Structures are given as C-alpha cells and as structure tokens.
Structure 1
Amino acid sequence: MDRRFVNVILLGFGFMFVFTAFQTMGNIEKTILDSISQDDPSFTGDGYTSLAIIYATLAVCNWLAPSAITLTGPRGAMIIGAITYLFFIVTFMFPRTALLYAASVLIGAGAAAIWTGQGNYLTVNSDSETISRNSGVFWAMLQCSLFFGNLFVFIKFQGKQHIDQETRNMVFGCLTAVCALGIVFLLSLRPAKRAPAIEDAKIEVVSNEPTSPLDAFKGALRLFYTRDMLLLSVTFIYTGVELSFFSGVYSPSIGFTLSMGENAKQLVGLSGVFIGLGEVLGGALFGILGSRTTRWGRDPIVFAGYLIHITSFFLIFINLPNVAPFGDTNETSYITPSPALAMLCSFLLGFGDACFNTQIYSILGGNYADNSTSAFALFKFTQSLAAAACFFYSSRALLSVQLGVLAVLGTLGTAAFCRVEAAARARRRAIAHAQDLDEKTPATHHLADNDLHYD
C-alpha cells in the first residue's frame, strides 16, 4: 500500500469519526430540540433554523476558504474545522438559544475549512488512475458515520415518545468522544506532495494552485464564471437540496408520523442507519470499480442515481403525510404509513446520493487537478447555499412541495452533469488523437534528416 493511499485511509477515518458525531446530530437535531423545548419553555431554538444558519455560513465562508488554506495548509484547515464541530456538539449539553445559533455560525465557518482542505488533500494524494477509487473509498468511509451514529441513537431512543435529559446527555457525551477521536486521526495525517501529473482533460482553466490569499480568491472567482463550472453548479445545487432533505427533514418527518406506531421516534435513528447503508454501499461499489467507471464515463452512474432518487421521491409522497415535516401528526397519505417502505426510501436516498457525490469528487479531482482548492470550495459554496435555502423553507413548505422541487432540480442537475462529462470525453479523445500524431511525427523527421545527411 503506497503512502498516498495510506493518507486517504487516514483521512477517511478522521472524517468518519468527526461526522459520526455531526451527521447523527443533524439527523436528530429537530427531534432533540423539540424535546428540550418541552422540558424548558425558555428554550426556543429550532433545528431547521440552526441547520440553515450552518449551511448559509458555510456558503459564505467557502469564498474565503481557499485564501485561508494558503496560510494553514489543508491539514491545518481540517484540524481547525474539526474543532468547531466538537464545540458545536458540546453546546447541546448546555441548551441556550443564543449559544445554539452562535455555535451554528462557528461550525459553518469550520465546515468551509474542513471540506475545502479535504478536497485539496484528496486530490494531491491521487492521480488519474486512482482519483475515482480514492473518491469512492473516502466516501464509503465517511458515510459509515451515518450507520454507526444512528444505530446508537436507534438503541438509545427505543420505546421513548419524549427524549428525556438523561438520554440526551448520554448521546451528546458519546458523540463528543467520537468527534475527539476523529480529530486525533486528522492530527496523524502526513504531508503530501502532488502526485504525478493527472492525464485527464482539464476543463477550460488550467492553472497552478495559488500561493497567496489574494491569488486564491481571484482564482476562485475566475473559475466560478467558466462555462463548465456554471453547469456543474446546477448539479451542486441539487446535491445541496437533497442533502438537507435526507439529513434534516426526511428522518424527523418519519418520527413525526405517529401512525407509524408507538416506536415512531425510534425510527428516526433507524432511518439514518439505512441512509448510511445506501451511502456506504454506493461508495464502496464505485471505489472498487473506480478504474472501470472512469473508462465508461461518470454520467451513467449519475443518471442511475437520478432514477433511484425519483423512485424514492414518489414512494415518500405516497407513504408520508403532507404535513409530516412540521411536527407530530396523526394524518396519513395515500397509503397507511409503512415503516418498511420508509426504510427502503432511506436506503434509496443514501445510495442515490453516493452516485452523485462520488462522481462529483471524481470529476473535480480529475478535471480541476491544478486548481483543486478553488474547485472544491466552489462546490461546497453552491451546495451549502442550496442546503441553507432548503432548511429555511422546510419549516413552511408541505412535503409534496419539497419533493416537487427535488424532482425538478434533480432533472436539471443530471442533464448539466452529463453535458460537462460529454464535453470532457470529447477533449480526452482530441488529446489522445493529438498524442498519436505527435508519436508519428518525430520518426518522419528523423528519416528525413538522415536522408539529407547522406545526400
């Protein structure tokens, strides 16, 4: 196992533990905060508002992240970001409305640092042959966080209609310890230099990584307004909206559907487990088949993810009541709410998300290898802005409206990704053709020179 792949594995473990803590909190935050409000009427914090603040801050700070990384390096940025995740989780042990929202702002800034640093670090430890594999392996390890954290919550919430303070503090304490373990893994990351030049077709802008904060900011602006990045931004927007839906809206909606049975609240954690299973299976599958999928193209996988998501949206529409995102309800939809069908939809949401995100990581790491810091920062900016918007309207929009928005954006995002990938394939063919001509041309000149010499 070469050093660069060891770095990817260590990176995966670090993110797995940090996000076991955070993604579990995101999944249960709405449910937990509603229970805190029942125990303490002075606490008025709202889970959707907190998550919206996180992603809005993340979107804004992503413009500054490339500049910050020129000062801290990718490892330093990831460690600083992970510490803000630790602080966010600790604040839940001391529920105060102002503290919740202040911590949400802080973790949003930290998220910009940790994710931009991650994209850069993954790229410098990959080449054209390993970028798809490394993206898939990292994604599978990252999404194990959904499995482990939510399985723990499923066990702790068993048989509870109201999440009492003792149970809440037990969950918060364990998640704090897990997040701290992730920081230890990030501290163990070793410096890495760029792998040998990636032989992929660069998209429109070919430049070296910036060396100053001002250069980084200017480079991000130039890259954002290129044709292919604007097209990819449509895909990024879709991934942001569906991320906020499955991570903060769908699972609580299951718990609010009281006709699911007396263990409806317990299903919130189980839903997260099935989302994680879908994410891990998708990441592992595309990691194992990384070299083959790159040869076939990335668009078939994205299109498969689109079909899987459309199927899940329809099943959710007929299974959950329209008012499920707002709070506890005894209403039903077109069928009697089925826990089994709800868990199937959770799995489909996770697997489809893995289809999109592994290929986004692959195309950014391959086609923007010389400008990876700015490329990943723009990805997170667009995705986070869309996620924040979704969380802001989630507390007001009916479930059918949210699913309709997802279907439209999914269609547009898939079409945009396929357009960019088709253009990249055409460029690769042109480069290969030019290389073939170059290989033949020197031999011809050599013969001509010999003939002239003998004459």
Structure 2
Amino acid sequence: MSPEWKKLFNIIILGLGFMFMFTAFQTCGNIEQTVIKSFNSTEFHGSGYTSMAIIYGVFSASNLIAPSVVTLIGPQLSMFFSGLLYSGYIAMFIYPYTWSFYTVSVLVGIGAAVLWTAQGNVLAINSSDNTIGRNSGIFWALLQFSLFFGNLYIYCAWHGHDHIRDKDRQTVFISLTVISLVGCFLFFLIRKPEPESSSSDMSESQLHAESSDGSSTAISHRSGLCSQALDAFGKFACKMFVTKEMLLLSVSIGYTGLELTFYSGVYGTCIGAMTQFGKDAKGLIGISGICIGIGEILGGGVFGMLNKNNRFGRNPVVLLGLITHFLAFYLIFLNIASDAPVAPEEGTNLQGYITPSLWVALLCSFLLGLGDSCFNTQLLSIIGFTFRNNSAPAFAVFKFIQSIMAAIAFFYSNFLHLQWQLLILVVAGFLGSITFFMAEHKVESSRRDSDYDSI
C-alpha cells in the first residue's frame, strides 16, 4: 500500500471508529433528557441538560492537559481509553443512579478532551496541504452517519410509545454500549503513516544520540516524551490560544458549541414535548436525528469535495451555513412552542406562531445538520492547514472553546425558553461568521505571500 493510500485508509478507519462510538453517544445525548423524564424510580434526580453541562465544562478544562496525554501515550491509545469512558457513560443508563450519572459525566468530560485532541492529531499527520480539506470532509461525513443509524434504531424501538418503560430503556442502552465498544477497538487498525521526509531533517547530534546504547536510548526517549508533553502544554496555554488566527476563529468555534447543544440535546427534546405531534412524538426524536444526520452527511461529503478544488476559499461554505441556520431558527421559532425545552414529561399544549407542522420540524432538523457541517468542515480545514505543525495543541484549543460554550448552553437550557435560546444563536452565528471571514482572509494572504517568496 502506497503512503498516500495508507493515509487515506487511516482517515477512513478514524471516521468509522467515530461513527460507531457516536452512533451510541450522540443517540444517547439526543434522547437522555426525554428518557430521564420517564424514569419510574423516585431515587433518581438527575438532569440530562446538567449532565451535558458537566461533560462539556470538564471537557473544556481538560483540554489543558489533553495535548500532553496524547504526546505521552500516542493518539491511538488515547482514543481507545477515552472511548471506554464514553461506553461507561452509556452503560450507566441501564441501571441509573444520580451519583453514578454525574460521576461518569465528569470522567467523560476528561475522556472527550483527550479523544478529540487525538482525533485532530491523526487527521493532521495523515493529511497534506492539498488533502486536508478532502480528509476533513470524509471524516465528517463518516462521523455523521452516526446520527442516521442510531436515531433510526430509536424510531423503530420507540415508535408508538407515549411513555418509555424501564425494559425499553435497558434494551436500547445495552445495544448502544456494544456499538460504542466496537468503535473503540476499530482504532487499533490505524497504522502509523510513513514520514514525508527522511533522516535529512535530522540533525547530526540527533543521529549520534540514536547510536548510543539501548539503556541510555530508553531513558532519553522517556525524557524526550516528557519534554514534548510539557512543550505541548506550553504551546496550548501560552502560545496557541493568543495567535491572531485562533483569536479570530474562537468566535466561530464558540458558535459551533452553542449550536451543538441546540441540535444534539435541545431540539429533539422540543419535538418530543409537542403534544400536537401525537403519540409518535417520542419516536419522532429519532426521525429528527436522522434528518440532522442526512444534512451533516450531505454537507461533509459535498464540502469535502469542494475543498479538493479550493478555488473560492472557505468563506462561501461558511456563508451558506449561516444562511441555512438562520432559516432553520426562524422556522423553529414559528413552529415550536416557546416552553418546549423545559416542558414536563407529558409535554406542552402550547404552540408556536403557526399550526405545528411535523414536516417543517423535520426540515429544520435537516437544515441544522447541513449548517453545522458547513461550519465544522471549514473550521477543521483551516485549523488543520494553519497549525499543521502543532496540530495537537491547536485542536485542543478548538475543543476547549467549543466545549466551554456547549457547557454554558446546556446550563441555560435548563430554564431559558426557546425564543431566547434562538436569539443567542442568531447573534453568535452572525459574529462567528464575520470573524471567520477575517481569519480566512489573513490565512490566504499569508499563503499568497509565502508562494510569492518561494518563486
């Protein structure tokens, strides 16, 4: 297998591993608030929104150490052990207790930081300047198939149920746990890519060091790993976060955290709470997730191919994402009751400004997914291109910002009505797009200057 095909194989395995893991986890996040409302046990007093706020809050803080962990144990083991924590979170719903619910939420937050930092590292080291856009699109499309398969299963399992029984819940979460574990073990199929440059890049002193005896080599190797880990932390804490490019991108990254919360946790809960959709409202959470997944898959595939022939840059795709999301937010504002995010298990009898339409609700799900893929594929592409030599700390910054904003959004989702959540998304989306355009202009100007100097 040629080096290029080996790298493409790694990207596909990376995407498949995440697809299985997040078939389980994203489905879990989409249904957990609805599931929690239906618990028969009076001993459980947890909140799905609060759990997600804890996960993303810890996720955010843990990005400070994630580059060091990835450097020390490597991206492959980092993803495997982090994936086991995700599987533990899902398994907790089989026999839930309040203390275990929140404890595992903290552990998943730590695992998430390591997982996504390692993912960014694998994506970067298996990509070149010419393939980073394509590979980002391939990974994103495969990842988002998780929304399709998981939510289709939810619809089939809960179709016609107006209440989720304990047996229904246990069957679903046992299945999701097994699916998650399959994804964890797929990471072991990823192969280390061959370096683009050989020993010519190595200094004479490095060559002399490698010729020393085995024991001193092992000691120096371990010392070198520790030094690299500290260096990765330093690059994150002191350098990467304050670069002009990252400061500009931080606003659009923050927006992806807010809308991640909305499409992955809040909107499905809103649909399930609409009594006007009939007894199938709970099962429609799954159909909504499928429509989000279709939008994500379509966007990831199309925009990945567009990046291959990047004549117009990333800005048109981000602008399309902004327009798509604004249309979705407006239709949701008209179609869904304002108290739907915080309605009790029996749902809400209120309605929006139009007669509630299931087809409009599902169209909005598709638009949410399509717009999300616009933003995320372009952010993955620009960060992977701009910080390719320091990918682990760069992607740690990305997830730090995204996760802290997601934590804030899950926190306010406990009490803010729908119209206020949509207003926050509109303002953040507009500002995030403007700053992305500025960052893209700066990156393209730097690349043109570099190309001119090399002539």
Establish whether TM, by shorter chain, passes 0.5. Answer: yes
Identity of aligned residues (%): 46
2:449 aligned residue (430, 435, 438): 430
1:88 matches 2:89? yes
2:19 paired residue number: 16
> Does 1:256 pair with 2:273?
yes
CA distance in 1, matches of 2:322, 2:129: 26
What's 2:402 paired with? Answer: 383
Aligned-pair CA distance for 1:192: 2.6
Out of 334, 338, 352, the residue aligned to residue 318 of structure 1 is 334
> Is 1:306 matched up with 2:322?
yes
For 2:7, the equivalent position in structure 1 comes to 4
Which amino acid letter does the alignment assign opposite residue 158 of structure 2? F
| Paired residue total | 422
Please say which structure displays the higher CA radius of gyration: 1
Contact 2:30 / 2:264 at 8 angstroms: preserved in 1?
A: yes
Question: Deviations for 1:162-217, whole angstroms, at most 9, x for unmatched residues?
Answer: 100111111011111111111121122112355569xxxxxxxxxxx995222111
Q: Give 1:88 shift.
A: 0.7
Is the CA contact (8 Å cut-off) linking 2:6 and 2:191 kept in structure 1? no
Q: Deviations over 1:377-434 (max 9, x none)?
A: 0000000000000000001111000000000000000001110001111112212222
Paired with 1:196 and 1:240, the residues of 2 have a C-alpha distance of: 37
Contact 2:80 2:185 in 1 (8 A): no
Residue pair 2:272, 2:281 contacting (<8 A) in 1 also: yes
- The alpha carbon displacement at 1:286 in A equals 1.5
Corresponding residue for residue 212 of structure 2: none
Question: CA–CA distance in 2 between the matches of 1:117 and 1:366?
Answer: 16
Whether 1:228 and 2:231 are equivalent positions in the alignment is no
Query: 2:438 is matched with which residue?
Result: 419
TM-score normalised per structure 1: 0.91
In the alignment, does 2:33 pair up with 1:30? yes
- State whether residues 154 and 266 of structure 1, in contact with CA within 8 Å, keep that contact through their aligned partners in structure 2: yes
Equivalence map 1:331-350=2 (5 Å): 331-350=350-369
Match of 1:218 among 234, 240, 262: 234
Q: Which residue of 2 aligns with 1:353?
A: 372
- Corresponding residue number in structure 2 for 1:273: 290
Query: Helix, strand or coil for the counterpart of 2:338?
Result: coil
Alignment of 1:364 onto 2:383:
yes
User: What is the CA RMSD across the aligned residues, in angstroms?
Assistant: 1.4
Are the structure 2 counterparts of residues 291 and 196 from structure 1 closer, same or farther at C-alpha, using a change threshold of 3 Å?
Answer: farther
How much does 1:42 deviate? 1.5
* 5+ residue gaps, structure 2: 199-224
Task: Note the 1:403-414 alignment, pairs <5 A.
Answer: 403-414=422-433
Distance 1:61 1:258 in 2: 40
Q: Shift in Å at residue 69 of structure 1?
A: 1.1
Query: Aligned partners of 1:326, 1:195: CA distance in 2, in Å?
Result: 53
Give 3-state SS (helix, strand or coil) of 2:383's partner.
helix
Q: Distance in 1 between matches of 2:191 and 2:54?
A: 33
Whether the 8 Å CA contact 1:147–1:272 is kept in 2: the answer is: yes
TM-score w.r.t. the length of structure 2 is: 0.91
Q: Find the residue that maps to 2:353 and give its secondary structure.
A: coil
